[in-house]
Amino acid sequence: MAIDYKALKNGGFMRQVQKNNFSLRLKVVGGNLTAGQLLAIADISKKYGDGHIHLTSRQGVEIPFIKLEDVEQVKAELEAGGVNTGVCGPRVRTVTACQGNAVCPSGCIDTYPLGVEISERYFGKELPHKFKFGITGCANNCLKAEENDLGVKGGYTIEFVKESCSLCGVCIKACREGAIAKIDNEIVLDKSKCNNCGRCVKSCPFDAWKGEPGYILSFGGLFGNQIAKGEQFLPIIRDKEILFRVADAALAFFDKHAKPSERFRIAIDRTGWDAFKTEMEVAYHG
Amino acid sequence: MDDFAIDESIDITDVVCPVTFVKAKVALEELEEGQVLSIRLNDGEPVQNVPRSIKEEGHRIIKLADNGDGTYNLIVKKVENQGET
């Protein structure tokens, strides 16, 4: 019987150098697994693999040295342990995320639930080429948003509450963009310099800076054979509905304009950034 | 706002992140509730980050004074955190 390697690969079974051995890619969102899932993975590795597990560059988990004849059994046992197989090939890949504001003091947004939502909506969706989402909670960018096809970065839309301010000057130093100054005993914000990082909000001892969480999107990042930084051109998005409207439009653009096996970035470069930006702005404004 | 008496002073200009915050935290732990600590810190990363970390610990920042020599004095009132170890 001919082996359908392509079907195996779609289901996350990566062909190894060793004949009839596969590195089984698992489904992980935002780098989070429960202790129970980890135990199930450990059991499978000991029983069907060679007892080691590989952590991938994008928060994925693979169990190497799974034998071809065990594939179905392994899948069933993984499912029983609450673990699903991942994907490879031309489709939406693992959604990565940092810990976000649920855990990290620097976080501006709750990254994991957003990652789950994005994954539920798009994971495995067939496209001309691979498509990667990455979510980072703040400007520190631990998750490297701009190396993803669509990067999401948490930020704040800020507002100054004069009555609460004691003119202590902490925010002036906390702002790395030089957007805040003290002029004639008043705090003055240069909005054109503000990058929505929210450091003023996080540092103000008197809560004189209020912050509304939002999403800063970047499009067309690549970090493989070719390297390009995702481009940011939309204003910070406060509404999750708008975020999904724009993401839908980005994937629709990719599906419509890309040649088979052409990455999102290359398709935008070829089609023209002006046309792409216009479509994203239309989606942004609804 | 400026009505405070400094109980203890430390200088963290001789260390870098994250020891800056550790030294400040240890000094605050040795104070009693309501006592005031003056922390001398460097411009740049320390003055960007230390005030925020102290705020996150629940203490009260009273003032940040520019010493004009590339250092600042951060005046902090100790607040005992209930419910945190």
Going by C-alpha positions, the residue among A61, A6, A70 that lies closest to residue A39 is A61
User: What pLDDT score was predicted for residue A8?
Assistant: 77
Range of the domain at B45: 8-77
pLDDT of residue B2: 56
Inter-chain touch A166–B1, beta carbons under 8 Å: yes
- Per-residue b or e along A267-281, where b marks 16 or more CB atoms closer than 10 Å to that residue's CB: bbeebeeeebbebbe
* Inter-chain CB pairs, A–B, below 8 Å: 36
Q: Which residues contact A125 (CB under 8 A, 6 or more apart)?
A: A91, A92, A131, A251
Chain A residues touching B61 at Cβ < 8 A: 168, 170, 205
For chain B, the residue count is 85
At residue A1, the pLDDT reads 55
Q: Are residues A50 and A189 in the same domain?
A: no
**Do A124 and A250 share a domain, yes or no?**
yes
Last residue of a domain, one of A51, A80, A109: A80
Q: Is the CB of residue B45 less than 8 Å away from at least one CB of chain A?
A: no
Closest-CA residue of B relative to A167 is B63
**Contact yes or no for A174 and B48 at CB 8 A:** yes
> For residues A98 and A108, what is the distance between their CA atoms, to the nearest angstrom?
11
Q: What is the pLDDT of residues A58-87, one digit of tens each?
A: 999 999 999 999 998 999 999 999 999 999
Q: What is the pLDDT, as a whole number, of residue B85?
A: 47
Confidence (pLDDT) at A5: 76
What number of other Cβ atoms are within 10 A of residue A4's Cβ?
9
Instruction: Please state the ipTM of this predicted complex.
Output: 0.82
**Cα atoms in the Cβ-side hemisphere of radius 13 Å centred on B69:** 5
Are A147 and A171 a contacting pair, CB within 8 Å?
no
The list of chain B residues with pLDDT below 50 reads 1, 85
Q: Rg of chain A's alpha carbons, rounded to an integer?
A: 22
Nearest CA in chain B to A175: B48
Q: Are A76 and A172 within one domain?
A: no
Q: How large is the C-alpha radius of gyration of chain B?
A: 12
Picking from B4, B50, B53, B64 by the largest number of A CB atoms within 10 A of its own CB, the best residue to mutate is B64
* B18: preceding bond cis by omega (within 30 degrees): yes
Find the domain containing A31 and state its range: 5-80
Please name the member of A105, A166, A203 whose beta carbon is closest to the beta carbon of B51. Answer: A203
| Chain B closest-CA separation from residue A217 CA (Å) | 26
Tell me the pTM: 0.92
Q: Which residue has the tokens 């839908």?
A: A248
Number of domains, chain A: 2
Beta-carbon separation of A173 and B72 below 8 A:
yes
CA gap A103, A239 in Å, rounded:
22
Flag whether A150 is in a domain. Answer: yes
Residue A247 near residue A150, CB atoms below 8 Å: yes
d(Cα A205, Cα A216) in Å, to the nearest integer?
A: 26
Same domain, A274 and A141: yes
Same domain, A125 and A48: no
Which CATH number belongs to the domain containing residue A27 in this structure?
Answer: 3.30.70.3340
CATH number, domain of B25, equals 3.30.110.40
- Is A203–B66 a contact, with Cβ atoms under 8 angstroms apart? no
Flag residues of chain A having pLDDT under 50: none
Number of domains in chain B: 1
Q: Which uninterrupted H or E stretch holds B68?
A: none
C-alpha–C-alpha distance, residues A228 and A220, integer Å: 7
Q: Does A15 touch chain B (CB under 8 A)?
A: no
